[in-house]
Amino acid sequence: MSKEQQRYLKKIKIRKYFVILVQVIIVIGFLALWEFLANKNIINTFVFSKPSEIWETILGLIAQNNLFNHILTTLKEVLIAFVLGILLGFIIAIILYEIPILAEIVDPFLTMINSLPKVALGPLIIIIAGANTKSIIVMALLINLIVSIITIYNGFVNVDDKKMKLIKSFGATKAQILTHLVIPSSYKTIISSLKLNISMSLIGVIMGEFLVSKEGIGYLIIYGTQVFNLSLVMAGILILIIISYILYKIIIFIESKLIKKF
C-alpha cells in the first residue's frame, strides 16, 4: 500500500471518529442542558421530566424485572412484522414486475392504501384478528408492506435499459434476467426498503401496542400517560430511540456486506 493510500485511509478513519465524537457530544450536551433547565424550573418537569428521573425510572423497571420483558416483546413483534413485510413486499414486487398490466391496475390502489391513516383501521383489525399480538402484527404490516412493494418495484423497473438490452441479446430467459440482472442491480433500492421497513415496522408495532397490548414499550408509554407518569413515558420514548438506532445499525451492517458482494 502506497503512502498516499495510507494517508487517504487514515483521513477517512479520522473523519469517522470525528463524526462519532461530535454525535456523542451533542447527545451529552442535550441531556446536560435538559437536566439543567429542569433543575432551574425553566421547563415543566411534570410534562418533560428530566434525565435523572428517567434514569431512575429505567432502573426501577429493571429492578422489577419488567423492562427486558417489554423490550423483548416489542422486538419480537417488530422482527416478525419486518420479515413478513420484506418477504411479501419482495414477492409481490416481483409479480408486479413480471406482469406489467397487473402493476398498472393495482398502482392507484396501492397509493390509496398507502395514504390511508392505518390507525383508523385499528378497531376493524381488533374485531377481525382479536385483541392480541396478531392485531399488532397486522397493524405493522399495513404500514410497512405497501412501502416495501412500491420501493422494491420502482427499483426493478428502473434497471439500466442498456444492460437489459444486452442480456436479452444473449437470449436470457425471464428468470435469468430477474435473478442475474434485475435483483442484483436493485440491491441499493432493496437496502433502502429494508431501512424504511424496519422503521415502519417499529411505528406500526407501537401503534398496535397502544391499542391492544398489555406488554411492550408501547404499552409502557400508554400506561404512563394514563397514570400521569411522564417519566415512564419519556423512558419508553428513550428506549424506542435506542432500539431504532440499534436496528438501523444492523441494516447498515447488512448493507456493507452487500456492497462487498456486488
For residue 248, is pLDDT > 70?
Answer: yes
153 Cα distance to chain centroid: 19
Average pLDDT for residues 42-69, to the nearest whole number? 86
The rounded distance, in Å, linking the Cα atoms of 54 and 236 is 9
Average pLDDT for residues 141-170, to the nearest whole number? 87
Q: What is the pTM of this model?
A: 0.84
Is 88:145 a contact under the CB 8 Å cutoff? yes
* Amino acid 262: pLDDT: 56
176-to-161, 162, 172 alpha-carbon distances in Å: 16, 16, 6
> Helices then strands (H, E): number in the chain?
13, 0
Q: What is the mean pLDDT of the chain?
A: 87
Domain 48-261, classified CATH 1.10.3720.10, yes or no: yes
Is 215:70 a contact under the CB 8 Å cutoff? yes
- Could you report the per-residue pLDDT of 174-224, keeping only the tens digit for each? 888 888 888 888 888 888 888 888 888 998 899 888 888 788 898 899 988
Domain residue spans in the chain? Answer: 1-43, 48-261
72-to-24, 66, 108, 238, 239 alpha-carbon distances in Å: 26, 10, 37, 16, 12
